[in-house]
Amino acid sequence: MSEQNKTGKVGTGTRLVGAGRRREWTGPVVNPPVWRASTHLYENMAALAEGPRRNEDGRFFYGRRGAPTQWALADALTGLEPGAAGTVLYPSGVAAIAGTLLTVLRPGDVLLMTDNAYDPSRAMGKGLLADFGIETRLFDPFDHAAYRALFCDRTRAVLLETPGSLTMEVPDVPALAAIAREHGALSVLDNTWAGPTGFAALAHGIDITVMALTKHVGGHSDLMMGSASAGPELYEALRKRAQGLGIVVSPDDAALALRGLRTLELRLNRETSSALEIASWLAGRDEIARVLCPMLPGAPGHEIWRRDFAGGCGLFSFVFRGGDRARRDRFIDALELFGIGYSWGGFESLAVPVDPAPLRAVMRWPPAGLEPGDRHGVRLAIGLEDPADLIVDIAQALAAAMAGG
Ligand SMILES: *Cc1c(COP(=O)(O)O)cnc(C)c1O
C-alpha cells in the first residue's frame, strides 16, 4: 500500500508532487534515478536463494520484475487511485487492456463490451479473445434493460469506457458496474480520458481500472505505456499474469512518465478550460450539428460527468452538419496549429477525422436528433497553446472548408 493512501485527504496537486517518492527506493534525490537493470547482483548464496522466494515490488530479483524506477511509478499510480492495492505497468495501453482481460477471462467465458469502446479493444474481442475461446458481446451502455438481459452464467467480465471513444457519451458507470456485480461479473474500466484524478474508478464500483499512460500521464507525446490498478486480490492476479507474459516496461520510460505525472493537474486544468471554451464557441456555429464534449452543458452524458467526475480533459469531438465528407477533410487540412495525428494528451493540439458508423454495432450513429447526413466528425485534442489562437485557427479552417471544393 502506498504511503500516499494514508494521507489521502490532501489535494490533487499535493498528491501528484509526492506520489511514489519513497526514500528507500529513490534515495535523497527528488526524481528516482533510472535503474537500467537486467541483472541484480546478490551479496552471497543466501541472498540469491531469497531472491525468487519473495516475489514482491521493492525486492530485487531480475530485471523483468522491475527496479525502483518502475516501482516508484506503479506506487505513484496506486496512491492516486482510492481503493487500489497495486498497479501493474504494461508497455502500452492496449497491452494493459489485453493483460487485464487475459487475467480475468478463461476459455468459454463471455465478455460484455460497451459498443463505444476504443476500436482496438473491439478488435481484441474479435481477434485475440476469440482465438482463446472467449466470446465478446457488445452492448449499448445507455440501454440498461438490454445490457442486463445479456448476462448469462458464462459472463465473467464487462469492459466499460467513459466517455465513449470518438463519440464521447458519458454512461452511468456506477450503475453499469453494480449490474455486473449483481450477476457475479467483474467490471473493467478504460479510464484513460479522465485518469484517476478525474474519475475515481474503484470508488465508483469498478474492479480493475486501466489507463493508457501514453496519453495524459506521459503528457509529452514521447512514450508508450499502460497501467492496470485494482484491490489486493485482483492486483495479485494481474501481476501474476503479467509476469507470466513476460511484461516489463523500460525504466527510461517509467522515469519520463513520473516526470509527466508531476504536472498532470496543471496540464489537465489548462486543457479542460481551453477545450470548454473552444467547444462552446463551436456549439454556436451553423456549420456544426453537434459538439460532443462531456464538459459542455447539453452534451450527451454531461449531467453524469458533473455527478461523477472531478475533472475533464482536452479531448472532444464535433459533427459537421450535412454529409459532405470532403468539406470535413478540407477543414482538417486547413488547420495550422493542430497536427493531424493519433493519440492525445500531449502538450500539442491534434485533429483526426471521426466516422463512427462502421464502429458501432448496437448503438445508433448518427444518434437521435441528428440528420442522417450529419455523420462526419472531427476529434480535437486540445493542447497547451493559447485557446484564443486555437479558435482563430479553427475559424479560418472552417471558412476554408466552406469556401473550397
Ligand atoms: C490510446 C488509448 C488506448 C491505447 O493506448 P496505447 O498506449 O496507444 O496502446 C486505450 N484506450 C484509450 C481510450 C485510448 O485513447
Catalytic residue numbers read 64, 118, 190, 215
270 and 238 in a common domain: no
Bridge-based pairing state of the strands 135-139 and 155-161? unpaired
Cβ atoms of 230 and 208 within 8 Å: the answer is yes
User: Which pLDDT score is estimated for 405?
Assistant: 64
Confidence (pTM): 0.96
User: Which pLDDT score is estimated for 55?
Assistant: 77
How many structural domains compose the chain? 2
Range of the domain at 371: 264-403
370 and 274 in a common domain: yes
Ligand 1, atom 8: nearest CA belongs to which residue? 93
Q: Which of 228, 262, 296 is the last residue of a domain?
A: 262
Tell me how far the alpha carbon of residue 113 lies from the centroid of ligand 1, in angstroms: 16
User: Which pLDDT score is estimated for 3?
Assistant: 45
Tell me how far the alpha carbon of residue 224 lies from the centroid of ligand 1, in angstroms: 9
Q: DSSP for 152-176, please give it.
A: -TTEEEEEEESSPTTT-----HHHH
* Residues contacting ligand 1 via CB (< 6 Å): 92-94, 118, 165, 190, 192, 212, 214-215, 224, 226
User: Which pLDDT score is estimated for 62?
Assistant: 87
225 and 181 in a common domain: yes
User: Rounded distance, CA 239 to CA 244, Å?
Assistant: 8
φ, ψ for residue 247, nearest 5 deg = -85, 130
Cβ atoms of 78 and 2 within 8 Å: the answer is yes
Q: Which of 242, 262, 282 is the last residue of a domain?
A: 262
In this structure, what CATH number is given to the domain that contains residue 293?
Answer: 3.90.1150.10
325 and 224 in a common domain: no
Bridge-based pairing state of the strands 110-114 and 155-161? parallel
In this structure, what CATH number is given to the domain that contains residue 194?
Answer: 3.40.640.10
Choosing from 215, 343, 344, 380 the residue with most ligand 1 atoms within 8 A of its CB, the one to mutate for a pocket test is: 215
288 and 398 in a common domain: yes
345 and 239 in a common domain: no
Provide block-wise average pLDDT over 10 residues at a time, the chain (405 residues).
Answer: 53 93 85 91 88 76 89 96 98 98 98 98 98 98 98 98 97 98 98 98 98 98 98 98 97 97 98 98 97 95 97 98 95 98 96 96 94 95 98 98 85
194 and 270 in a common domain: no
User: Which pLDDT score is estimated for 336?
Assistant: 98
Q: Which of 262, 291, 310 is the last residue of a domain?
A: 262
